[in-house]
Amino acid sequence: MKNAIYAQSGGVTSVINASAYGVIKAALNAEEIDNIYVAINGINGVFNEELADMGKEDPEQIELLKFTPSSAFGSCRRKLKEESEFEEIFRIFDRYNIKYFFYNGGNDSMDTANKIHQYAQKIGYDIKVMGVPKTVDNDLPETDHTPGFGSIAKYLSVAILEGTLDVKSMAADSTKVFILETMGRHAGWVAASTALAKRHESDGPHIILLPEVPFNKEKFFEKVEKTIEKYGYCSIAASEGIKYADGTFVAARGYKDNFGNVQLGGIGSTLANLIRSELGIKTHYAVPDYLQRSGRHISSQVDVNEAIEVGAMAVKYALEGKSGYMVGIERLMNSPYMSTTKLIPLDNVANETKLVPPEFITEDGMFVNEKFIEYALPLIEGEYYPPYLNGIPLYARLKLNRI
């Protein structure tokens, strides 16, 4: 008997369950795989032997995974370090005859998958390990982009468009500055994507602050004032991870998450306070937080389709005997947009970060150029609306009965 485990790890996206759907459907249809289990709460579900048999789920609910945001199976931020942890994982793999392992996540999750692959080689355990890419941050190397990015880009582009219209309407004698705080710890892809909303010169955003460019208060204040002078208002997209020239985060919370990353948050309020105190201008800010990465009601059709494809292809590649790889996306053309998948060694992805390249950023460091627009625009194309019931999206409700 040959069984498979699929699990989700790290911060979620609005299309991570579309990748789960791709994996699960492909595994259920594969003669070589007897059972496809899902580990509840990521790799923790393996340790706790909390495994749900997808073959016993209602097929209609599995179909709804394509439309369901966040993690339908629970995620985690556990980083594997000790030899004893790997011994325990493979003891459990052996108990349940696990011959395929699919881990759906970002940089740190690919590190986990890579370590499991390497340990299997070390002890001679026959298992195929495949990484399934996921991160709204779009910062995984060697893949053109990452499932999750297109949808957060679409969500935030709409948000900045509508927020700018609001501040424009109030600017005559009230609020003149609107700040949209976006995710993005080290890479500014998410904040940069708000530029897709800008069709005319006066449209927001007028300023985009990226982690790749050191934050300079004086230049920032100068651009805010000039923008208000020109249009009467100023709309700003700011990445949570922007830093001063000395490398310190502008909005660090002072503690770390379970992966050891400095916890960020509050760049919107930090900048708003700076503008109020230094320039005396009334400022509003918005913090989409979880909403931006779980806003499935407005996901990109391209993003959903590719999320499903990378999941299905992970199973296909594993059945072909491949192991120790992440499924990447290769862009074939922009107009019409076409892509295919490719294999990327997990060694090349684990703990690595792809930054917004300098050639995508304007000379003043506070916006992106046409090269970025050309890159990102195809990724937000199309809508893949979920079914609605009584005016509210209908999302999957799985039994997740433990085996």
Residue 296 among known ligand-binding residues: no
Q: Is 185 among the annotated ligand-binding positions?
A: yes
Name the β-bridge partners of 263.
Answer: none
Identify the sign of the CA torsion 293, 299, 303, 304.
Answer: positive
Q: Binding residue per annotation — 293?
A: yes
DSSP conformation letters of 272-305: HHHHHHHH---EEEE--THHHHH-GGG-BHHHHH
Read off the DSSP letter of residue 361: B
Partner residues linked to 256 by β-bridges: 262
Task: Check 58, 94, 108, 137 and give the catalytic one.
Answer: 137
Closest CA to 131 of 104, 93, 98, 111: 104
Distance CA 20, CA 307 (A): 9
Mapped onto helix, strand or coil, the DSSP state of residue 105 is strand
Is 285 labelled a binding residue? no
Question: In whole angstroms, what is the distance from residue 220 CA to residue 172 CA?
Answer: 22
137 noted as active-site residue:
yes
382 assigned to a ligand binding site: no
Q: Is 338 annotated as a binding residue?
A: no
Does the annotation list 183 as a binding residue? yes
Q: Is 266 annotated as a binding residue?
A: no
Residue 68: both structure tokens together: 């369901």
Determine if residue 184 is labeled as part of a ligand binding site. yes
**Is 246 marked within a binding site?**
no
262 is in an annotated binding site: no
Contact 341, 313 (CB under 8 A): yes
Which residue ranges make up the annotated binding site?
Answer: 11, 107, 135-137, 183-185, 240, 290-293
Which residue ranges make up the annotated binding site for diphosphate?
Answer: 11
Which residue ranges make up the annotated binding site for substrate?
Answer: 135-137, 183-185, 240, 290-293
Q: Indicate which residues carry an active-site annotation.
A: 137
